[in-house]
Structure 1
Amino acid sequence: MPPRSNAPQARRARRLRRALACVITITGVLLTTAGTGHADPYAAPAAVPSLAPSTLDARYDIERRAIEQALATAHEVGDQDRARSLGSLLQPGRRFLYFDPRGRGRAIEVVGDLTRARRVAVLVPGADSTLTDFDSKADKPWSTPGGGARAVYAQARRADPSSELAVVAWLGYASPRTFSSDVLTDERARQGAVELRGLLKGLQRVNRTAEVGLLCHSYGSVVCGRAALAGPGAGWRQVTDIALYGSPGTTAWSASRLGGTARVWAGRGSTDWMEDVPHVRIFGLGLGPDPVSPDFGARVFDAGTAGHSDYLAPGSRSLDNLTRIALGRDAHPVSVPGSESR
């Protein structure tokens, strides 16, 4: 007697996961975040000169002093979690193009030498990215903007010690909370896209010959999508690669709408819960098609067994491929036929 197939059970489990994802998504719409009612104790961003090769050192110095001031404030108000984070940002050799400690915070860090780089990778993080968690979250430093940028930079150096890559950890927008209505629309992404395109203009002034790769995680892929849909412009023409990973969608209906002259990549790990999120867009809700689906038309790369927070984990298949994309090389395709459409 032939053994029973597990296919029905697998289908039921998948339907259950999708139903649960829908419930969580709807709950996100209904939840609201109450304000504290207290004035923010942190100072507004410091005035800095426009980005240019001659102003980089000045900006690094100004932002370091701003971080020192914010650290003093954190100690004064007893904000110990923020104090620990800011102390880490002040480690020797760290350089920031932008810093804003207000609210959940923003920061833009440079790993490597922007002026000498032949390639610049811009890491665009997703939901729940904050200044307090800029370097460490749940014992997974690679899942943060700063830790992820250093993971890519270190992997590039291992793969090719002569590679002239700089990595920018770009927490330059108001990242939404995972359980909020903001993650179901592109409103935060539209605002972030303006800031991202502004950064690219600045990078072009600093280094006119460097090519740029965008590494866009989770809701960060929505930011990259909105930036790409705005069309070519100053700085954008240097973008040669756009990598979407752990993506809920980009609001674009196909990769051809995003790419222009850039190659559009997409990847999702086999243990990433994002596969169970509904990929729809109707009446302004939802973020559109699944970037790893065949109909979307992206170049699907092998993300291995990565979970949603593990794409840049050292030694992972996903980090290897995302670093290859950052360097302007071809990523390895999915290793199992049809796994891109799971």
Structure 2
Amino acid sequence: MSVRTRVTRLRRSVLAAMITAALCGPVWAAAEPRTPAPAPAALPGLSADALDIRYTANRGNIAEAAEMAKAAGDVQRERALRALATADRHFLLFDGRGEGRAVEVLGDLATADRISVLVPGSDTTLDTFDGPSPRIGGAARSLHEQIHRQAPGAKVAVVAWLGYAAPKTISTDVLTTGRAEDGARELRGFVSSVERLNSGARVSLMCHSYGSVVCGRAARGLAVADIAVYGSPGTAADSLAEWGTTARVWAGQGERDWIAHVPNVSVSVSVLGTTIGFGADPTSRDFGARAFATGDAGHSDYLAPHSVSLKNLARIALGAASEVTDD
């Protein structure tokens, strides 16, 4: 059997598994338990003067949510929330209900010259927010530290943005744009609020896996300088022209990333009344994005310390386009 035939069969098998997951996912998702949590804290509008107020209010809300999780016997959620509630963490937004929302800021959002917003993919919840990269909290810290290694003294902020209900890997949602459409609306609103807060900053979006679908749906007319997608299953577009953006768009895929075996197609599934799959590979030459080197990264390794991909993402965050490597 030729290599090409084996690859074709593998892709067909993956596509069949995707369709099976899409059909079975809603049944599994319906059985998920819910841990009680308080309503989000009442917050002032986003402004430089209100940042500390928001951080303090959310810290208290997180601590309250941790106590409710403890009372409910949810040890995992309690442990996760207590790690978020420390005095050195700064959350612009927090909602402990359901799988949760959380937006953490590293650096001074009001005075930064460059702001990078990390948009996560599937299986990102409050329970998985923290920890080393690839967790979004750890990924944000890794990027923030790398930026300062490459440009000491740079005025930057990095935002770990869990501002939408990320889908589960095994579910209908991860194969369709529904969650991405919802996430795109929230992301557009967040970027607009950041622009009002700090109109002089250059904003970049760093979009991992399903997060690249969110960014692709949010991109049209959005006031950002750069968008980087990595580990992407596709962006629900056949080419960059469909995004309607003037931002520089970058795409990378690691040598060990299993996402390369996911078929870059869109398939209508009549029993679901929807389309699964996200179309063209954004790293393909025909798509039109700029390539950036990712080395031997696996799907969860793009922001791993000292990696090729992390160094290039830091350059993109700094606006140093000419320094980004593509091989």
- Alignment TM-score, normalising by the size of structure 2: 0.93
Aligned-pair CA distance for 1:324: 0.8
1:128 is matched with which residue? 123
State whether structure 2 residue 101 is matched by structure 1 residue 106: yes
Aligned-pair CA distance for 1:49: 1.2
State whether structure 2 residue 266 is matched by structure 1 residue 266: no
Aligned-pair CA distance for 1:160: 1.1
Aligned-pair CA distance for 1:304: 0.6
Q: Relative to structure 2, which stretch is displaced further, 295-304 or 17-26?
A: 17-26
> Take 1:53 and 1:178, find their aligned partners in 2: how far apart are those partners?
37
C-alpha contact (below 8 Å) 2:34/2:98 kept by paired residues: no
State whether structure 2 residue 156 is matched by structure 1 residue 165: yes
The two structures, once aligned, show a CA RMSD in angstroms of: 1.6
C-alpha contact (below 8 Å) 1:18/1:276 kept by paired residues: yes
Aligned-pair CA distance for 1:256: 2.7
Give the residue type in structure 1 aligned to 2:260.
Answer: E
C-alpha contact (below 8 Å) 1:266/1:291 kept by paired residues: yes
State whether structure 2 residue 173 is matched by structure 1 residue 182: yes
1:295 is matched with which residue? 286
Give the residue type in structure 2 aligned to 1:225.
Answer: G
Give the residue type in structure 2 aligned to 1:246.
Answer: G
Give the residue type in structure 1 aligned to 2:10.
Answer: R
> Take 2:34 and 2:263, find their aligned partners in 1: how far apart are those partners?
38
SS at match of 1:203: helix
Aligned-pair CA distance for 1:205: 1.8
Unaligned runs of 5+ in 2: 269-274
Give the residue type in structure 1 aligned to 2:101.
Answer: R
C-alpha contact (below 8 Å) 1:271/1:308 kept by paired residues: yes
1:142 is matched with which residue? 133
- Shift in CA distance, 186/17, structure 1 to aligned 2, threshold 3 Å: same
Give the residue type in structure 2 aligned to 1:18.
Answer: R
SS at match of 2:276: coil
* Per-residue Cα deviation, 1:75-113 (whole angstroms, up to 9, x for no partner): 111111111111111223110011111111110000111
Percentage of pairs with the same residue: 51
- Shift in CA distance, 278/38, structure 1 to aligned 2, threshold 3 Å: closer
> Take 2:318 and 2:214, find their aligned partners in 1: how far apart are those partners?
21
> Take 2:167 and 2:9, find their aligned partners in 1: how far apart are those partners?
26
- Alignment TM-score, normalising by the size of structure 1: 0.89
Query: Which aligned pairs between 1:1-342 and structure 2 lie closer than 5 A?
Result: 9-31=2-24, 32=26, 33-36=28-31, 40-136=35-131, 141-228=132-219, 231-232=220-221, 236-237=222-223, 239-258=224-243, 260-283=245-268, 284-330=275-321, 332-335=324-327
C-alpha contact (below 8 Å) 2:316/2:324 kept by paired residues: no
C-alpha contact (below 8 Å) 1:49/1:59 kept by paired residues: yes
* Per-residue Cα deviation, 1:295-337 (whole angstroms, up to 9, x for no partner): 10100111110000010000110111111111111253432xx
> Take 2:256 and 2:33, find their aligned partners in 1: how far apart are those partners?
40
- Shift in CA distance, 52/36, structure 1 to aligned 2, threshold 3 Å: same
> Take 1:285 and 1:144, find their aligned partners in 2: how far apart are those partners?
26
Aligned length: 318
Give the residue type in structure 1 aligned to 2:237.
Answer: A
> Take 1:258 and 1:39, find their aligned partners in 2: how far apart are those partners?
36
* Per-residue Cα deviation, 1:133-157 (whole angstroms, up to 9, x for no partner): 1113xxxx11111111000000001
C-alpha contact (below 8 Å) 1:124/1:220 kept by paired residues: yes
> Take 1:37 and 1:105, find their aligned partners in 2: how far apart are those partners?
14
Q: Relative to structure 2, which stretch is displaced further, 65-74 or 28-37?
A: 28-37
Q: Relative to structure 2, which stretch is displaced further, 66-75 or 324-333?
A: 324-333
Aligned-pair CA distance for 1:116: 1.3
Give the residue type in structure 1 aligned to 2:320.
Answer: R
